[in-house]
Amino acid sequence: MKNSLTLIIVAIILVVAGIFLFSRQSNGPEASPSSTPTLSSSPTPITIQLLQNSIRQFTVIASDFKFDVKEIKVKKDDRVRIIFKNAGGVHDWVIDEFNVRTKQLQVGQQETIEFIADKTGQFQYYCSMGAHRQMGMWGTLVVE
């Protein structure tokens, strides 16, 4: 009778200890997910910043023989979007250093091109038709 009472007490202690250990173990994994969001939340502001930086949009209108925008200023690594519209003659919009070139547009046509301004400096954009560049169809892209 005394032996079976001891067994019951031992069994109760084991069960209580088991519950205690089990609940501590299940607390363990719960603690780490709460610290994981702190780690994974840090890349989020960087992603948002990239998106905010990403697109600088400019509309450039061409006519005989000029671009209405003579200077475009952006920051390094900006994504530059040029909406190029042709209001007269046949023209294109070219910038050699970034390998950017629209098609040769007829009057009334437009084309949108995008590129990453991945180097700093001053770069000339121009119309590559005939002698249009020499006649004044150029402007400056400034990447700071």
Binding mask 115-134 for Cu ion (x = CB under 5 A): ------------x-x--x--
* 79/133 with CB nearer Cu ion: 133
DSSP β-ladder status, 121-126 and 138-143: antiparallel
Minimum distance from residue 66 beta carbon to Cu ion (Å): 9
In this structure, are residues 106 and 125 in contact, taking their beta carbons and an 8 Å threshold? Answer: no
- Choices 26-34, 37-45, 83-91, 112-120; region in contact with Cu ion by CB under 5 A: 83-91
Asked if 141 interacts with Cu ion (CB under 5 A), we say no
Asked if 80 interacts with Cu ion (CB under 5 A), we say no
- Measured on CA atoms in the order 86, 91, 92, 93, is the torsion positive or negative? negative
First to last CA, the chain: 90
Asked if 91 interacts with Cu ion (CB under 5 A), we say yes
* 21/107 with CB nearer Cu ion: 107
**Helix 43-54, helix 2-41: angle, nearest 10:** 20
Minimum distance from residue 121 beta carbon to Cu ion (Å): 24
Look up residue 78 and give its DSSP letter: P
Asked if 105 interacts with Cu ion (CB under 5 A), we say no
Minimum distance from residue 124 beta carbon to Cu ion (Å): 14
Strand partners, 140: 71, 124
Residue 20 C-alpha from the chain's centroid: 49
- The contact set with Cu ion (CB under 5 A) reads 91, 127, 129, 132, 137
